[in-house]
Amino acid sequence: MLYFSKLKIVTIYLIIIVLSFFSISNFINTDENSFFNKKFNLGLDLQGGSYLLLEVDVSPLIKEKLQNKLLSIRKLLKEKKIKYQNLKIQNKKIIFETTENYIIKFEEIFLNKNNPINIYYEKYKSYEMDLIKSGSLIKISYSKYGLIEIKNSALEQSLEVVRRRVDEVGTKEPTIIRRGSDRILIELPGLDDPNRIKNLLGKTANLSFRLVSESDEFGSEPISFENETGELNVNKRIIMSGDNLVNAKPSFDNQNNETIVSFTLDRVGAKKFASVTTKNVGKRLAIILDNKIISAPSIREPIVGGKGMISGNFTFQSATDFALLLRSGALPTPLNVIEERTVGPDLGEDSIKAGAISLLIGFLLVIFFMLAKYRFLGIIANVALITNLVLLIGVLSILEATLTLPGIAGIILTVGMAVDANVLIFERIKEEMRTESSKIFAFDMGYKKSQSAVFDANITTLISATILFFLGSGPVKGFAVTVGIGVVTTLFSAFFFARHLTSLYVLKNKLNK
């Protein structure tokens, strides 16, 4: 066990040196292009920032889609001259009554793979909608796969919009990823106050231009103001939606001395807008965002250039955010924040300090203890321990792993547990020395016999760390990472590096004798 080939020794030192460079590069400024310019990242709990988990709420979207389906089915029934009655939506199902002959006819159309209303998904071997017959009643609802498709496309679209909105706010290096079938995870490092982002993401930003009705006439509904009290009767017909917007930005209206949002329309939008404003001069036009009236100015003259502006008691900040929402487009469906974790930058700094101090103290305590207990072998164990720490940080850097506060705790714990390997070996050597006259043989046997115990002892820790890595979340995952890597570096430093040092010591002692 004590013999090392030259090649092995060179490899051991090479690994240590390379990893040392990686670990040092975390603490000094390295050249951008340098090979060693890989660093571990600080978790949100150490650098400060926000973690948000959003859930897509598809129920309003399904309701809306079902409503549209109802219209297409009505149209289809009329076209195909199928007699029906009581067509309505009940319990998320479209239902209607008809006679047996018509049921067969309807089924033929509805369950045809090329029909335009009920899409057939080749990949799922299933239709978008399920059809259930009970007597003369037909019930149509979204199938399992239809719902999956809705969720999926809603999530994909939301991701796009969320990305645009977060990017526009301009935080550094945000992480926006999809989580499961209906969630979006956002990490915003360095963000002190997540309220603004939460506000921006909390709005679906459905913009519509609708005419204000004179009275509560048919086809109108009362809608309340966003910033003022009171409500107006507004026509249900949407003249134009946010889809026709190509740009929006905050600006200042010198005439009225107020902050406004000016917008530009695409060609279709400009045409529509021109015709409506020409026909309705004198009437009021309501600008509605998420079912709240932003403002409802009177149309003084036709707006033909495809450019317009919105006033609404904006501050500069709220105008900026309003314009941002218009530019980034509407979310297909509302998003709810279901988990939020925010750490201020000063707490992060305090945590780093506390982590560093406790690491240093824990490290020194263990080192002194080992020296007091094992004297010379203690020095070897301590050199191995320091090497272990350097290797651990080096590996973290190469993997560009994220270091969290529990991760620092994991490093300190590794320091405490890492000496175990050398303790097991040294204790075994001591035992062997009692019965063995040859020192070299005792050392050799010590290493050989303790091997299985050291291996067993570390495997159990590695098992716990692996499970935690896959099931833990956030900062706790960082603990699993450091403890897990710690086990590997511990085994390396005990079984290669410390053994090599011990062999040097033993062989040298033999020569001196």
Contacts with other proteins in 245-264 (CB under 8 A)?
Answer: none
- Return the residue of 1, 457, 504, 506 that touches other proteins, per CB under 8 A: 457
- Return the residue of 87, 417, 488, 506 that touches other proteins, per CB under 8 A: 417
Beta strand pairing call for 245-253 and 258-265: antiparallel
What is the nearest approach in angstroms of other proteins to the Cβ of residue 108? 43
- Return the residue of 152, 420, 433, 506 that touches other proteins, per CB under 8 A: 420
Within 268-287, the residues that bind other proteins by CB under 8 A are none
Asked whether the beta carbons of 449 and 428 are under 8 A apart, the reply is yes
Binding characters for other proteins, 42-81, by CB under 8 A (x = yes): ---x-------x-x--------------------------
Comparing CB distances to other proteins, the nearer of 314 and 426 is 426
- Return the residue of 213, 295, 351, 503 that touches other proteins, per CB under 8 A: 351
Q: What number of residues does the chain have?
A: 513
If you count DSSP H runs as helices and E runs as strands, how many of each does the chain have, helices first?
13, 21
d(CA 207, CA 242): 5
d(CA 131, CA 114): 16
451: Cβ contacts below 8 Å, ≥ 6 apart: 495
- Return the residue of 137, 309, 459, 507 that touches other proteins, per CB under 8 A: 459
- Return the residue of 161, 176, 409, 491 that touches other proteins, per CB under 8 A: 409
Comparing CB distances to other proteins, the nearer of 10 and 357 is 357
User: Is residue 465 at the binding interface for other proteins, with CB under 8 A as the rule?
Assistant: yes
245: Cβ contacts below 8 Å, ≥ 6 apart: 207, 263, 264, 265, 266, 269, 326, 327
What is the nearest approach in angstroms of other proteins to the Cβ of residue 180? 10
- Return the residue of 156, 173, 231, 340 that touches other proteins, per CB under 8 A: 340
User: Is residue 472 at the binding interface for other proteins, with CB under 8 A as the rule?
Assistant: yes
Beta strand pairing call for 120-121 and 93-97: unpaired
- Return the residue of 319, 324, 412, 491 that touches other proteins, per CB under 8 A: 412
Rg of the chain on CA atoms, in Å = 35
Comparing CB distances to other proteins, the nearer of 364 and 399 is 364
Please give the helix or strand (H or E) that residue 483 lies within, else none.
helix 475-492
Asked whether the beta carbons of 112 and 106 are under 8 A apart, the reply is no
Binding characters for other proteins, 195-234, by CB under 8 A (x = yes): x--xx-xx--------------------------------
The count of residues interacting with other proteins (CB under 8 A) is 73
CA torsion 359-362-365-371 (nearest 10°) is -70
